Structure 1
Amino acid sequence: MIAKVRGNSKIEGEITVSGAKNSALPILASLVLTSEEVLINRVPEISDVNEILSMIRVAGIQVTFSDNEIMVKSSSNLKGELGNFDSNIRASILLLGPLAARTGHAELPYPGGCAIGERPIDIHIEGLNKLGFLISEKGDRIEATLGKIPKEVKIKLRFPSVGATEHLMMTAAIMNGTHTELSNCAKEPEIVDLQNFLVSMGAKIKGAGIDKIEIEGVKSFHGTTHTIIGDRIEAGTYIIAALASKGLLKVNGASSETFNFIHELKKIGAQIITNEDHVLVKPSTLKPFKISTGPYPEFPTDLQPQLTFLACYTNGTSEVTEKVFENRFWHVDELRKMGASIEKIGDRTLRI
């Protein structure tokens, strides 16, 4: 695909964000936890969603996807062996624990790689081991077998991994009779959304959004209806584009409570008015800044390339430090081709 962009234009007007991809993927993976009907609204129509849906269909889930709405019909023929499925997305690992918990054994393709740095799944595996699962890797496949189910489990994550937090929370929720305490958890709003979805199906979970999550495993889940939260990264991209072009923009459909990055933008002069269901961005004169990314509630790494772009339109010298991924500067060479003055300081910092 070739896109032609006409420059020297303002990003202005009004736009509504999609449902959050990082919320949709774990919620869709958790559909294997119930045999009853589920309706999910505001699902983004993207390739990762289509791939995770293909995987749960292979597992025996009857699902339709149309007009950003997913309908799951009742199903009782669940299977855990998906080893022959060719998956290229990292979210596929989220199916391992839930499928093994429900069927006794799960086999999946090893999760796809990542172009922005290493994302090892060892934290997932360590947690599943403590929950009583035996994990083995065979070439390009990974298997989990349910062993002796413990009554009490305490798991402290070595790093507040979003994927591991979601994976272990989903798995522990269906382990009847097991009390699980997860600590040093990721705190992202998407994890809160996953908890809300699971609780609406009968899960007993509390604590998402803070450091410690407690789960009382239940025997089964019932059906539910759920609407996915707005995508804060998509919203942040529009906000930054409006600031760079000095446009007047209204961004609808995402709760400003999840916009942990707005206070950082306000510090550098951004005029942003937040409301319950929308954000208004006004033309602003920005001052140079030093901002680092980090796990929530720090500045999101997924907005680091956009922040680098914004620095190019801010008078003075700014610095952006990437503390999450070691290889998330691919955009720099492309910006330099267009005249950006960007210097790399060490392995993690850009001076713009």
Structure 2
Amino acid sequence: MSNDRLIIQGGKPLFGDVKISGAKNAVLPLISISLLFSNGFSLKNVPDLVDTRLMIKLINSLGIMTKFYDGTIDFYGEPQNIEAPKELVSKMRASVLVLAPLLSKRNNALIPMPGGCEIGERPINLHIDALKKLGAETSFQNGFLRATLPFGEFRGNKIKFPQVSVGATECAIMAATLAKGKTIIYNAAREPEIIDLGKCLNLAGAKIKGLGTEKIEINGVEKLNPVTYSVIPDRIEAGSFAIIAGITKGEINLLNLNPKDLNSFFKTLKQANINVDIYDKTVTIKGSYKINSVNIKTEPHPGFPTDLQAQFMSLMSIANGCSVIEENIFENRFMHVPELCKMDASIKVNGNKAIVSGVQQLNGSSVKATDLRASMSLIAASLNAKGKSIVNDLSHLKRGYENFEDKLFNLGANLK
């Protein structure tokens, strides 16, 4: 891949093994909690991604020292600064994750409004409401969010989210960990990444119950102890390579993953006539020459994940019959549709639904990636397409997929 573009000669089945990297959506909040520790801690199985390095730079700017080597990050020290640099936060929406732990340790925080993928507004009002419930005061000043703790600490309370939010649930958990008293979170997100965050905090001495359910109870503790923790495998990367196996009619062994984290997705793949063999930490995906059309609705976990919607649409574009894909998480996550249509996919969008009429063959074209997961959907489509495809603007890809080109090469993909 050069100049953020990838040239793909499609139509070749892919075979081999892929070792799944640590989860991007798990490692970012885990890096953020380094702000809560007084005597450091270590993370293992850390993916080397643009977003990982941005988050490391962000906590470095707040005073935490780090050493990143061989998939491990060692953290040292406590936060010294209260203001997050705008040039870092503007590049990544997940930067807002530092708000709660920074406020918990310093009683003050100044955070610019975050950036990231252009897939909808994704407001942080739920994060702010949760922090207010725990005693924070907030105000907006010249594009910055200023937050303070008038009592010098968070204080436990009941938080009921009006809608499920992964980021807001993470924010509430981090705020409540060192709070005085008991916090109960209702309508909490149940994603594996939430469970991973809680497991790491509990290992360090936090008292969190109910992880993976809609009700999480947290009894605040005075401090966290140094620990070493391994990040869970990336279920979205695993799902992406599963779709690549299906769309190229190949066979790929997914190594080092937690299959139960993808139960809903694997069930859907089976309905599409893709063969899925599940073992302990390995899943074998075998494509089929007859792909069935399947209707899906994206939902919070344990439903079909929104981060695999774009990739699944590529698979449905060559399925037999018509499928309806309903996006219920983000309001602007069909930007890959016009690009897939350049490859002769037949897709019509009506509000939050995309109607996909399967075609016999996609054809190579020059397309443009608009966000992280759209990048992967276009690569999957290009691997199926007849002839040469050029996928442009792939800077997004490095935000969420580690060593992606190498992994594709090892499966036999024709890339340059």
- Per the shorter chain, which TM-score range? over 0.9
Of residues 39, 42, 55, the one that matches 1:52 is 55
| Aligned equivalents of 2:11, 2:87: Cα separation in 1 | 46
Partner of 1:78: 80
After TM superposition, give the deviation of residue 63 of structure 1 in Å: 0.4
**How many residue pairs get matched?**
350
| 2:93 counterpart of 1:90 | yes
Give the distance between the partners of 2:25 and 2:156, measured in 1 at CA.
29
Please state how far the C-alpha of 1:11 moved relative to its aligned partner. Answer: 2.1
Letter in 2 for 1:19: G
Taking a change above 3 Å as real, the CA distance of residues 312 and 76 of structure 1, as seen in their structure-2 partners, is closer
| Alignment CA distance shift 1:84-1:5 (3 Å) | closer
Please report the TM-score for the alignment, with normalisation by the length of structure 2.
0.81
Q: Aligned equivalents of 2:332 and 2:161: distance in 1?
A: 23
TM-score, normalising length from structure 1?
Answer: 0.96
The answer as to 2:164 corresponding to 1:142 is no
SS of the counterpart of 1:239? helix
Q: Could you tell me how far apart the structure 1 residues matched to 2:184 and 2:271 are?
A: 37
Unaligned segments of structure 1, at least 5 residues: none
Map of 1:25 onto structure 2: 28
Secondary structure of 1:219's partner?
coil
Structure number with greater CO (CA < 8 Å, separation at least 6) is 2
SS where residue 322 of structure 2 aligns? coil
Structure 2 segments unaligned to the other structure (5+ residues): 358-416
Q: Secondary structure at the match of 2:9?
A: coil
Q: Could you tell me how far 1:77 is from its partner in structure 2?
A: 5.5
Maintained 8 Å contact 1:106/1:144: yes
Mapped to 2, the partners of 1:82 and 1:287 lie a distance apart of 48
Q: Note the C-alpha offset of 1:247.
A: 0.7
- Which residue of structure 2 lines up, in the alignment, with residue 231 of structure 1? 234
Could you say which residue in structure 2 is the equivalent of 1:158? 162
Shift of residue 147, structure 1, vs aligned partner: 2.1
From the superposition, tell whether residues 46 and 77 of structure 1 become closer, same or farther in structure 2 (CA, over 3 Å). closer
Amino acid at match of 1:94: L
Is 1:270 equivalent to 2:274 in the alignment? yes
Q: Which amino acid aligns with 1:43?
A: V
Map 1:71-220 → 2, pairs under 5 A: 71-73=74-76, 75-76=77-78, 78-82=80-84, 86-87=88-89, 88-148=91-151, 152-175=156-179, 177-220=180-223
SS at match of 1:342: strand
Q: RMSD of the alignment, in Å?
A: 1.5
**Paired AA for residue 294 in structure 2:** F
2:38 matches 1:4: no
Preserved contact between residue 79 and residue 105 of structure 2 (Cα < 8 Å): no
1:78 positional shift: 3.0
Ranges of 4+ aligned residues in structure 1 off by more than 4 Å: 149-152
SS at match of 2:310: helix
Say which SS state the counterpart of residue 30 (structure 1) adopts.
helix
Q: Quote the Cα distance in structure 1 between the aligned partners of 2:203 and 2:336.
A: 40
Q: CA deviation at 1:81?
A: 2.6
**Do residues 332 (structure 1) and 337 (structure 2) align?**
yes
Identity percentage of aligned residues:
38
